[in-house]
Structure 1
Amino acid sequence: MEFTDKQIQIIETAERLFAERGFDGTSVRDIADEAGINVAMISYYFGSKEKLMEALFELRVGTVKMRIESLIKDESLTPLEKVNILIDEHIERIMQKQCFHKIMVGVQVTNKNPAILKAANKVKLRNAAVVTELIKEGQKKGVFKKKVDIVLMLNTMIGTVSQSLISMDYYREFNNQQDLNEEEFQLIFKRRLSIHIKTLFKVILTNEA
């Protein structure tokens, strides 16, 4: 889905407010005032606050499907290399878009709004379908195991990255990395997180220890 600059401005304003105040704690009027537009413009572009949230999901993770499809077609990479790229890109996306991550966690933990949860699941199901195609490619080449639980595998990645992000300060203190500047710590953190998840996925997907 393509968005205009004005739509992106509204979506990003809503994202920040949803992360700060929660979905239920943010009104369409709040979003309009913060974005410097009138309420009618939000109705014109999105129809409702729920549809605006759907648009946010599309903006942040809607391109994942296309990215996986392009990787599937890339014959220069092995199936495991493609999976590793997806892992690194997921980590980077979550680290860069922490407001969206906070919203996603809130939506799924509180489960207060069935319409929002349905919209989130719609995007996740669509992306899981193309990940399945990537895994099938590896299975056809004899690289991946025949039986792989795709959803549990993805949950392993999503849950690990999510919990790691929430507990970064704890991780930093436990590993005595308080003296590192933020950039140095972030680089070390992402590298270790990447290695950890890739190791798990290698065990899940292949016969290699």
Structure 2
Amino acid sequence: MEYNEKQKQILVTAEQLFSTKGFDGTSVRDIADAAGVNIAMISYYFGSKEKLMEALFEQRTTNIKVKVESLLKDDSTTPFQKVEILAEDIINKIMSKKQFFKIMMCEQVINKNPVVMNLMYDLKKKNLEEFGKIITDGQQKGVFKKDIDFLLLYNMLVGSISQMMITIDQYREYNNLTNIPEEQVYEQIKKKLSENIKVLFKALLSYEA
């Protein structure tokens, strides 16, 4: 869905407040005041705080369906290359939305809001189905092992990204990167995560391991 500038302003403001005060700790009035609009405008555009979160979720989350469809049509790319390309795409997309990721992590820990939890569950289910198509394609071509746990593999990927983002300050300190701009550190992390995930997936998917 395409949003006008005022709607985008409201979404960005809501994202900022949700990431600092939490979903339950942020009121519609808080969002209206910070965005410089009236409450009626938010109600007109989004209906409720829950619907506003749904809109934000749709804007910020990564649905890998289009990427998977493109990869499956590409006969010039090997099954291992397809998995590596998809993993790198997921890493880049998740790590480019740090503020929204913080919201999702906090909401998962609190586990109080059924709206957010259902949105996250549905997204993971859809992405897992798409991820499974890439693995199945490799299995049908005789490249990947038959006994692959799609969910475990997908969780290892997303979990690795999540853990790195949560512990980025520790990573910077451990690797003497405290004086390096944050964006440069994130670029380094993305590169290293991608390299390690490729090695891990090769070991778990290949008959050679």
Q: TM-score, normalised by structure 2?
A: 0.89
Q: How does 1:44-193 map to 2 (within 5 A)?
A: 44-178=44-178, 180-182=180-182, 184-193=184-193
- Taking the aligned partners of 2:62 and 2:191, their CA distance within structure 1 comes to 25
Q: Say if 1:157 and 1:197, in contact at 8 Å, map to a contact too.
A: yes
* Larger displacement relative to structure 2 (148-157 or 97-106): 148-157
Q: Secondary structure at the match of 2:207?
A: coil
Q: Say if 2:15 and 2:100, in contact at 8 Å, map to a contact too.
A: yes
Unaligned runs of 5+ in 1: none
- Equivalent residue, structure 1, for 2:38: 38
Mark the CA change 1:8 to 1:68 in structure 2 (over 3 Å): closer, same or farther.
Answer: farther
- Equivalent residue, structure 1, for 2:3: 4
Q: Say if 1:58 and 1:123, in contact at 8 Å, map to a contact too.
A: no
Cα offsets for 1:70-101 (capped at 9, x unmatched): 22222222222122122222222222211111
User: What's the offset of the Cα at 1:62?
Assistant: 4.8
User: What's the offset of the Cα at 1:121?
Assistant: 0.8
Q: Secondary structure at the match of 2:51?
A: helix
User: What's the offset of the Cα at 1:61?
Assistant: 2.1
- Taking the aligned partners of 1:84 and 1:54, their CA distance within structure 2 comes to 30
Number of aligned residue pairs: 208
Which letter maps to 2:14? Answer: A
Q: Secondary structure at the match of 1:144?
A: coil
- Taking the aligned partners of 2:18 and 2:126, their CA distance within structure 1 comes to 24
- Taking the aligned partners of 1:16 and 1:183, their CA distance within structure 2 comes to 19
- Taking the aligned partners of 2:182 and 2:115, their CA distance within structure 1 comes to 38
- Taking the aligned partners of 1:96 and 1:62, their CA distance within structure 2 comes to 11
Q: Which runs of 4+ in 1 moved over 6 A?
A: none
* Larger displacement relative to structure 2 (61-70 or 181-190): 181-190
Mark the CA change 1:157 to 1:26 in structure 2 (over 3 Å): closer, same or farther.
Answer: same
Q: Say if 2:88 and 2:194, in contact at 8 Å, map to a contact too.
A: yes
Q: Say if 2:62 and 2:94, in contact at 8 Å, map to a contact too.
A: no
Q: Say if 2:71 and 2:82, in contact at 8 Å, map to a contact too.
A: yes
User: What's the offset of the Cα at 1:112?
Assistant: 0.8
- Taking the aligned partners of 1:58 and 1:154, their CA distance within structure 2 comes to 21
Cα offsets for 1:136-175 (capped at 9, x unmatched): 1111111112122222211111111111111122122223
- Taking the aligned partners of 1:181 and 1:23, their CA distance within structure 2 comes to 29
- Taking the aligned partners of 1:60 and 1:181, their CA distance within structure 2 comes to 24
Q: TM-score, normalised by structure 1?
A: 0.89
- Taking the aligned partners of 1:79 and 1:37, their CA distance within structure 2 comes to 50
Q: Secondary structure at the match of 1:145?
A: coil
Which letter maps to 1:4? Answer: Y
RMSD of aligned alpha carbons: 2.0
